[in-house]
Structure 1
Amino acid sequence: MRKVFAIIISTGAAALMFSSCKKVLDKQDLGNFTAAQVYNDSTVAKSSMDYIYSQNQPSWFGNSGGTISGQLSGLTDEAYSDNAFVKGTVTIESVTDLGASASSGNYTKIRTINMFIRDINAGTMADGVKARYNAQAYFWRAYRYFELVKLYGGVPIVTTPLDAVGDEAKKAAALPRNTTTETFNQIVSDLNTAIAALPINWPNTADYGRITKGAAQAFLGRVLLTWASPQFNASNDQARWQAAYDANTAAIATLTTGGYGLYSKWDVSMWTTEGGISGGKPGNPEAVLVTEYNTSTTDIYQNNNSYTGGTIPKSLGGSGSNQPTWDLARAFPMKDGKDTLTSKYAYTAQNFYNNRDPRFAQTIAYNGCNWSLEGNSAYRLWTYYYYSSATAVKSTESSASTTGLYLRKGVDPTITNSNLTYSGTDWIEIRYAEVLLNQAEAAAELGRLGTAQEAYANLIAIRKRAGIEAGTDNMYGLTTGMNHDQMITAIMKERQIEFAFEGKRYWDLRRRKLLESTLNGKRRSGVVFTLAKSGTNFTDYILNTRDASANTNLDAMYNTTGAGTFVVSTKTLDTYNIAYQTADYFFGIPTTSLNNNVNLVQNNTWGGSFDPTK
């Protein structure tokens, strides 16, 4: 969880090597140095590169700092949120990631990267050192343009630093939009440049967190999968799917060589196992692209995140704001991998938590479940209501959960109440499981549907790791002989479960143009647990005995009737039907951006002439 790297350069060596002397990235802006200092001094160059990392690395839930990325779960059926996107009231003013001009927002970050590339190439350091620096800069430029193109389609491509002030500079920066094809080509070009110079593993354990060859290839696989998906590929050009398949296949090969693969089990330790081991290999093979955090409380070393504090219930000092819907809870299959209608295991709402896919209990915290928190392995979560009068009910929580459920995924059980604001759990932006599912989807689109081919094989590998039962046919709940449509549906379902609350579902539904068919007309729901009445005893009469009862037999508190048992019911969270707009697949250019750059043309889905699919 350390976040800084000090450069060690061997005289005449082509490789750039990093080792740790602090615990956070040096976040020093390029503007603090002269160009000569940056491209002639390795220590300052390193500080500048660290600044680029700190400006561009995504945070928890895949938050890249844009209009949408901070609220991704609330844009789908994972969590409840009242917002313009699900209401269908988005306008051209709603998504402002493009920025008012080339001197703000994403383009400020791109300009910093372009300055670095220009100056490092003009410097006196060894060519091999420059190549490693450039590779990282090119990766982050590709990352930033990808964040833009998936929102708007083609955007102005700027690969050299433009002057930031003055009328002439403003006119020079008023660039027209490149086509969407040109924008994707630029992203791919930058990533290929990065891939050519990046190492499979950085040489020291302290290098953990730097972009590797495999990480860049995996990101290229994500980019090309998006380019091949229906949002951008209305004609279903098979060459695009082949490119996505090839990129993800190459990523898997490189990552395997570098010591990456599926983590051995699907539980909280998949998130809390961090750092590198000997030879620069990852301690956690699942962590392909990582943003590191620490638990330091000092200004110099501090780099914390708010994930744990924002997730733990208020009764334990958190805010409890990350709450899964009942829709998400219902989406998990049973432990034989079948859905609740076809499984050999009986399912009812009353015993909803029994015999489920093991990922269910590692993702969702429900009333009565054992949840190791704040060093207390015996802690049980209670979210039920009890009768405070003959007709009124009151929550046993001081601040009731809106959905009746809490997110437990990746919550470090060792963080104490006093340290909730200093969470150091690393964010894994790309897990190895994603690379497998990206390859599986491309394979399915290419007709590679044999049980030994990637679509089936990768799904089976992920389900096996999750702990789903193999079944007599060793298919882990999958149906044999699935056709194209059935396989794509199975892959999208697997992504929904595997990556719940990881910021993937909205982008998946969007790129496959499934937002409307999946969500429109629906209202998200929560669950209510109500303690059965006990005569005229209108109190929380199990308060002092509930933990002991649950330790003895939690099922008895759900599956019987009478005193000390729970009634499970659902409630509707939305007050309106979800109504995504077709135009939202490519957002409109804000008025401020159009006014600041007369050469920008509005998307044709918002009254302009620019075709974002071309």
Structure 2
Amino acid sequence: MKKKYIIYTALCSMLALASCESVLDKTDLGAASPDLIAGDSVLANIALNYVYNQNLPDWGGVTAISGIGGSVYSEESYNQGSSENKYLEGTLTQADVSDFGTALNANNNYGKIRTINSFIFDLGNDKLMDNGAKNRLLAQAYFFRAWRYFELVKLYGGVPLVLTPQDAVGQEARDASFIPRNTTTQCYNRIAADLDTAMKYLPTVWQSPSANWGRVTRGAAAALKGRVLLYAASPQFNPNDVVSKWQTAYDINKQAYDILTASGSKLFADYGKMWFSEITGGVGNSEAVFITGYNTSPGDQQKRNNGWEASTRPKYSTGSGGGSNIPSWDLVKAYPMKDGKKPGASTKYTYSDQLFYKDRDPRFEKTIAYNGSTWPMTNVTNNRLWTYQQYDANAKKYVSVENGGTNGSNTGFYCRKALQTSDVAASTLDASSTIYSGTDWMEIRFAEVLLNLAEAATGVGRLDEAYTQLKVIRARAGIEAGTDGLYGLKANMTRAEMFTAILDERQIEFAFEGKRFWDLRRWKLIEKTLNGTKGTKVVIALKTTGVPSDFAATRDGLKLDDIYTNYFTVTITPNALMTRNAIAWKPEYYYFAIPQAAINNNPLIIQNNTWGGAFDPLQ
């Protein structure tokens, strides 16, 4: 289904409402007056849709303002170019992470929180509306207030908790708006309380699923609370490993699991195709928990396309742009073998860099496109991707065979996750149509709920539960169970080994889903994992001797193992495009600085103690 919510609230849209399939079908810029909304749940829904539009996460799970968290912030892709990445280069300044907001703006975080608070305040004072309808509307607003504050807390630690709309006119109102930062603990408690309210009043399943596809549910609220409290229990916020924090995280993640499974949530059978199942026969994707909908509607007011398809596909297949989110060799090496063992550790499947693609975890083929792989991205069923280099005698250098030697992959690989191919696309995918992708983004999918539960269970010593969830994830992936039924997992792991196994599993399961950077950050592992490297890539080159003269014409019909064994050299090399110094993440980046402009605006704001202030984000 591609006709989804984008949000409309102007009064001129209201007359069209009755004819819409969904209450989340259009876009507009304003919010309806509370006087007009009073007692009318339909009009209140229109105002709520504006809240959805402002707060739904963008594709890839990056932050709304700074855009932190994509593949270039971890070893998934690194920064594939010569432009500076201040986070990884250790050159971040106090002003660079501006999500806190430094000016009055409806589109910064506190501007969005003000809109949510106004909605809650106005609807809370509505004496005419049915209480059931009102509580369901308020519950959705509380969900997004929790989401907005969590996005701030994971960046800075504690922030000022503004829970009512502030007056905007006059010196007295200005003075009253000066609010100090709440402690990080107070912020986590408020986020949890808002999500408790959401869980209390949201349905587990909305009536008319097609019309309400994308609305948050009780399970979504529980899953978000599970993610929030897992952060609170992680080393970034829990350096002393206080077990009670893990227990709190375990309790809510178990509750989220129970709520979602009772309402029909489960892993989608096909890992590679789960992104393309939205609404079928009135039933939504069983794996989707918290989603942002996109569409390909023809009208300007309805069209909302995501940029993932156009930015990620090879440049020659998009007509413009493309070639982003390219996997590094480091990510390629991270995938286990088909038996679940790490490359080199498996006794069943031999690994070699020369045949790196052979006998890997099935998620490898569904996430990474490599030289010689079958990838029907151009509606050619058996299309093969070729990214190797060959020697040009005239130019006296190696050049890529891809796209005539231009616009080729920088690492030899492409990401293929959530990209449409001929076996999932409803229409022909040509260079002009890729910019109109309507594939929905799953910010939280059921797999995360399972792995959040596994991690929290490990925190409280319930390692058997952690094993159970990891095995379910690996079974869906297609990894072999093995004679011990452990799907390649080490038996009798310690607590520390299990934490590591879960992070490794998250790296593979959620590759290019905006999770890896935040996982490394909340576990304070960025220096250990990334510092001192520029990343690596693979250079696959056609040999200059012993290659048939008609190789280019016959390669599609040859066996890939024979091609790699007889005609290619595979060389692992540092990523030469990263011309800067090696990665040098700094410890103070685990809590970013409040921008000085925000401190200048509010004299009660105190800077983090890792940036020269006195505020302790661990309190």
Indicate whether the TM-score tops 0.5. Answer: yes
How much has 1:416 moved relative to structure 2? Answer: 3.5
- Alpha-carbon distance in 2 for matches of 1:23, 1:572: 51
State yes or no: 1:142 paired with 2:123: no
Note the 1:342-491 alignment, pairs <5 A. Answer: 342-344=345-347, 345-389=349-393, 391-397=396-402, 398-413=406-421, 414=425, 415-449=429-463, 453-491=464-502
Note the 1:184-583 alignment, pairs <5 A. Answer: 184-206=188-210, 207-267=212-272, 269-275=273-279, 277-278=281-282, 281-282=283-284, 284-317=285-318, 319-344=322-347, 345-389=349-393, 391-397=396-402, 398-413=406-421, 414=425, 415-449=429-463, 453-534=464-545, 542-549=551-558, 553-560=559-566, 565-573=567-575, 574-575=578-579, 576-583=581-588
SS at match of 1:527: strand
How much has 1:20 moved relative to structure 2? Answer: 5.2
Residue segments in structure 1 that go unaligned for 5+ positions in a row:
8-17
SS at match of 1:164: coil
State yes or no: 1:613 paired with 2:594: no
SS at match of 2:533: coil
How much has 1:607 moved relative to structure 2? Answer: 0.3
Contact 2:593 2:608 in 1 (8 A): yes
Aligned equivalent of 2:72 = 74
- Alpha-carbon distance in 1 for matches of 2:222, 2:25: 24
- Alpha-carbon distance in 1 for matches of 2:22, 2:445: 26
Per-residue CA deviations over 1:537-586 (Å, capped at 9, x if unaligned) read 9xx9633222223xxx11110012xxxx2211122123422111000000
How much has 1:376 moved relative to structure 2? Answer: 2.3
Per-residue CA deviations over 1:349-370 (Å, capped at 9, x if unaligned) read 1100000000001010001100
How much has 1:311 moved relative to structure 2? Answer: 1.2
Per-residue CA deviations over 1:242-282 (Å, capped at 9, x if unaligned) read 11111111111111111101111221x1110112655xx52
**Could you say if the C-alpha distance between residues 399 and 541 of structure 1 is closer, same or farther in structure 2, counting changes exceeding 3 Å?**
farther
37-46 or 81-90: bigger deviation: 37-46
439-448 or 387-396: bigger deviation: 387-396
Contact 1:102 1:173 in 2 (8 A): no
Aligned equivalent of 2:21 = 21
- Alpha-carbon distance in 1 for matches of 2:378, 2:173: 54
Contact 1:4 1:20 in 2 (8 A): no
Give aligned pairs, total.
587
**Could you say if the C-alpha distance between residues 2 and 379 of structure 1 is closer, same or farther in structure 2, counting changes exceeding 3 Å?**
same
Contact 1:287 1:428 in 2 (8 A): yes
Which residue, 131, 138, 157 being the options, matches 1:127? Answer: 131
Normalised by the length of structure 1, the TM-score is 0.92
Cα RMSD, aligned residues only: 2.1
SS at match of 1:351: coil
**Could you say if the C-alpha distance between residues 343 and 399 of structure 1 is closer, same or farther in structure 2, counting changes exceeding 3 Å?**
same
- Alpha-carbon distance in 2 for matches of 1:27, 1:168: 36
Aligned amino acid, residue 461 of structure 1: V
State yes or no: 1:152 paired with 2:160: no
**Could you say if the C-alpha distance between residues 125 and 378 of structure 1 is closer, same or farther in structure 2, counting changes exceeding 3 Å?**
same
Per-residue CA deviations over 1:189-221 (Å, capped at 9, x if unaligned) read 100000000001001122121101001100000
State yes or no: 1:590 paired with 2:604: no
Instruction: Provide the identity percentage.
Output: 47
- Alpha-carbon distance in 2 for matches of 1:355, 1:252: 32
- Alpha-carbon distance in 1 for matches of 2:63, 2:587: 24
State yes or no: 1:61 paired with 2:60: yes
- Alpha-carbon distance in 2 for matches of 1:23, 1:116: 17
Per-residue CA deviations over 1:111-137 (Å, capped at 9, x if unaligned) read 000111111122221111110000000
Contact 2:6 2:53 in 1 (8 A): no
Per-residue CA deviations over 1:458-505 (Å, capped at 9, x if unaligned) read 001100110001111111000111001111110000000000010001
- Alpha-carbon distance in 2 for matches of 1:260, 1:63: 25
How much has 1:45 moved relative to structure 2? Answer: 1.4
Contact 1:290 1:427 in 2 (8 A): yes
- Alpha-carbon distance in 2 for matches of 1:22, 1:498: 32
How much has 1:73 moved relative to structure 2? Answer: 1.2
SS at match of 2:194: helix
Contact 2:6 2:302 in 1 (8 A): no
- Alpha-carbon distance in 2 for matches of 1:385, 1:48: 55
- Alpha-carbon distance in 1 for matches of 2:280, 2:182: 40
Aligned amino acid, residue 21 of structure 2: C
State yes or no: 1:36 paired with 2:35: yes
- Alpha-carbon distance in 1 for matches of 2:569, 2:169: 65
Per-residue CA deviations over 1:431-462 (Å, capped at 9, x if unaligned) read 1111111110111111112xxx2110000110
How much has 1:38 moved relative to structure 2? Answer: 2.8
How much has 1:66 moved relative to structure 2? Answer: 2.3
- Alpha-carbon distance in 2 for matches of 1:319, 1:474: 41
**Could you say if the C-alpha distance between residues 216 and 19 of structure 1 is closer, same or farther in structure 2, counting changes exceeding 3 Å?**
farther
Residue segments in structure 2 that go unaligned for 5+ positions in a row:
9-17
Contact 2:27 2:301 in 1 (8 A): no
Aligned amino acid, residue 315 of structure 1: Y
Aligned amino acid, residue 114 of structure 1: N
Normalised by the length of structure 2, the TM-score is 0.91
Aligned amino acid, residue 449 of structure 2: V
Per-residue CA deviations over 1:53-106 (Å, capped at 9, x if unaligned) read 11111121113412143x521111011214011111112111000001465510
526-535 or 483-492: bigger deviation: 526-535
Aligned equivalent of 2:12 = none
**Could you say if the C-alpha distance between residues 373 and 156 of structure 1 is closer, same or farther in structure 2, counting changes exceeding 3 Å?**
same
Aligned amino acid, residue 554 of structure 1: L
SS at match of 2:60: helix
- Alpha-carbon distance in 2 for matches of 1:203, 1:374: 39
- Alpha-carbon distance in 2 for matches of 1:6, 1:314: 32
**Could you say if the C-alpha distance between residues 277 and 599 of structure 1 is closer, same or farther in structure 2, counting changes exceeding 3 Å?**
farther
Contact 1:38 1:119 in 2 (8 A): no
- Alpha-carbon distance in 1 for matches of 2:304, 2:105: 27
How much has 1:24 moved relative to structure 2? Answer: 5.2
